[in-house]
Structures are given as C-alpha cells and as structure tokens.
Amino acid sequence: MRLEQQFQEIRGKVNIQGKSVSIADAQLKGDQLSFGVRYKSQGQKTVMRFSGHITGDTIKGSLQVQGGSFEGIQDWIAKRTP
C-alpha cells in the first residue's frame, strides 16, 4: 500500500495479487481514514472498503471485502516507512 496526502486529499495504490490498483472515495476526517478499492479477479468484481484510525505513524482498522473469494471483514494495519 502506498498513500500520499496533500492537506485533506488522499491518493494512493494498493498491491493486490501482484497488480497495483488505485484507491477511490478516500476520506480523511481528523484521525479517521477510509477508502475503497475496486478490481476484478478471475472475472469476479471485488470491492474492498478500508477504514482506520491514525495514531502517529500507524493506521489500524478494518477491511470489508465484498465479492471474490476473500469475502468478509478482517483487521488491517499499516506503518509509515521512513
């Protein structure tokens, strides 16, 4: 995952099955971040919705996946690299 911030605007890409996919609908409100990812895998449309709480250099939250073979909710964590 690579995210870039300019004021309240967030852009980025997520690496999924070896492919770089752009994020969409990113929102940053205080220390809360959310964004979506849409892609097709093996002909199936998959939507991922990330939401998380930012503390220092770490984002912790949940990931909801709809469609595809990994459907469900799971925890995720990201740390800033120097």
pLDDT per residue as tens, the chain (82 positions) = 999 998 889 999 999 889 999 999 999 999 999 999 999 877 889 999 999 999 999 999 999 999 877 889 999 999 998 8
Query: pTM here?
Result: 0.88
Q: Which two tokens stand for residue 9?
A: 């605007």
C-beta contacts of 65-70 below 8 A and 24+ residues apart: 68/41, 68/42, 68/44, 69/41, 69/42, 69/44, 70/46
24: domain CATH number is: 3.10.450
Measured from the Cβ of residue 65, the count of other Cβ atoms closer than 10 Å reads 16
What domain count does the chain have?
1
Structure tokens at 66: 């709809």
**pLDDT score, position 12:** 96
Instruction: Tell the residue number behind the tokens 């799971």, with chain if given.
Output: 74
Residue 23: predicted pLDDT: 97
What's the pLDDT score for residue 51? Answer: 98
Say which amino acid occupies 66: Q
